[in-house]
Structure 1
């Protein structure tokens, strides 16, 4: 004879719903529907994105891209070069996933670009790119020719400079090394870096009239070298610079700007002294000819006459 369930057993059984009752609760139904539909929604989203990407409305020609505020010293075909080097298509969709990142990486590889500042994609077909460019400050003269550099000693493409442009830039001479890499890479010799820093101080923001032309300067002469990868601060102290005027006078500058040495005034003090000398003597030449001016002394400026080429001194 089957036993009857007690009221307690009946109550417990009623409190433990079976899988059917759980499955058909409204909240659970909603969750299951969402989980079931999610892959479908993702698939539809991808298909919709693919359709939009291929629509003519969102297709962009390379020529529609604008490089904001490109200075005159940057080659006019920079966009074309960047496109060819990165092997990008001539026509593409502005809705292409990762487009901004792809463009940014392409321009970062250009030797003329210091930094990618902004890439603005505006619908339907407008792209504006803002870049910080490397500005040439000097030309390094060597037996192989002239090499343009920026203020950090980064080599710029020599093929982008013509003979007619040489007078526009200060010359760095007596460099013992050659570039150790392609354009866009540091020269590899910190003596070149120091020369670039000195020129940048004397030609602020590319203004040659303020100091360089005022003092009738012709070149920066380098004494010493220091490997970028192995040098120490002691090596930088062993590199010195002279400013050479068109008339043959020589200004002993000393160490590079930014390198500290307790035996020399800093770069700002030297520049002020050079300006005072120019004011007091009316130039960096004397009536008798070129002079040597030493800015490294703490208390005063030393100077002495220099012998002209081919001149013989009498005792």
Structure 2
């Protein structure tokens, strides 16, 4: 049986190389002949690839498919197919697994997805039939739902935001699923841009940091809302850092938000028309005023208070808990239930 013949262009290059090298082989020039051979082989390969390489890399067996890509398993809060979305939106199906820039382009495509905080790495490995690309991803995790209202909409609208203040795809969440996160009242603040970009509101970004600090405990404590209080400008007209109030489940959010539209008030202020238990958190983590307790200290104080008095959504609505004072070792509270006085 005759050996299978290679492509015509390969045979042509081989024939040319033999004709050129024949005189060198008989000339006894040794090292010069070998060098000439190597140079000619390199040049031949370059010319051949330049002419036919594009045809080769676009053969079906070398086209990048979703099956060629392995990604970090998606967390349960992401319901869409990230890999399929990136294949479509990043035009990855147009790439070849032989592309020398393949991993770089794959990383760039994944980082454009709103659910991806960072593509940590992309490594190409040999596969059974074609090379495979393994991509390590860090996903965004929602921590708050920002409430907005509009007469044109039926009911409240909730916008998911992650710990970095990035606006996430709202279509991923049903109205029931939004209840799995702390809700934020921020004066009807709407997202400033597209999904995957900053929400565009410093108050919302700070609320996300507060929620991240409370993430392990807020539900068991009976909390449900974060009220963003945009502080009034100071004497020289500079905007002040937002502050935050926490409310329990079932609280009259609108009444409290309307009353708390200015600066944080003292514990001696009269109750709202619709009273509600309030937890005065203060500034966002990392933005504390001089003498204000840190986020870790505030969470510890709230733990102590709930352990001593019970869930916040089961306490009298006149209760006010202040976590801010830096000098005190426990939360400062008024209106406590009789058995805790």
TM range (shorter): 0.7 to 0.9
**Aligned position for 2:299:** 271
| Contact residue 111 and residue 183 of structure 1 kept, 8 A | yes
Q: Are the aligned partners of 2:223 and 2:313 in contact in 1 as well (CA < 8 Å)?
A: no
Following superposition, the deviation at residue 275 of structure 1 comes to 1.2
The question of whether the paired residues in 2 share the 8 Å contact of 1:155 and 1:183 is answered with yes
User: Match for residue 242 of structure 1?
Assistant: 245
In the other structure, the counterpart of 1:86 is: 90
Query: How far apart are residue 197 of structure 1 and its match?
Result: 0.5
After superposition, residues 1-315 of structure 1 pair within 5 angstroms as 34-35=38-39, 37-46=41-50, 50=54, 53-89=57-93, 93-123=96-126, 124-125=129-130, 126-144=132-150, 145-175=157-187, 177-203=189-215, 210-224=216-230, 235=239, 238-246=241-249, 248-284=276-312, 288-297=316-325, 298-299=327-328, 301-305=331-335
Deviation at 1:54, TM superposition (A): 4.5
TM-score by length of 1: 0.74
Report the Cα offset of residue 185 of structure 1: 0.6
Select the structure that is richer in strand: 1
Structure 1 residue 192: Cα displacement:
0.9
Q: 1:130: Cα distance to partner?
A: 2.3
Cα gap change, 1:279/1:150 in structure 2, threshold over 3 Å: closer, same or farther?
same
How many matched pairs? Answer: 269
Q: Residues 284 and 291 of structure 1 are in contact (CA less than 8 Å); yes or no, is this contact kept in structure 2?
A: no
Give distance in 2, aligned partners of 1:81 and 1:238: 38
8 Å CA contact 2:64–2:93 kept in 1: the answer is: no
Q: What is residue 5 of structure 2 aligned with on the other side? A: none
TM-score, normalised via structure 2 length:
0.69
**Counterparts in 2 of 1:80 and 1:188: CA distance versus 1, 3 Å:** same
CA distance in structure 2 between the aligned counterparts of 1:182 and 1:48, rounded to whole angstroms: 42
Q: Note closer, same or farther for the CA distance 1:65–1:153 as it changes in structure 2 (3 Å cut).
A: same
The SS at the match of 1:258 is: coil
RMSD: 3.0
Which entry has the higher C-alpha Rg, 1 or 2? 1
| SS of aligned partner of 1:213 | helix
- Going from structure 1 to structure 2, the CA distance change for 1:25 and 1:100 (only over 3 Å counts) comes to same
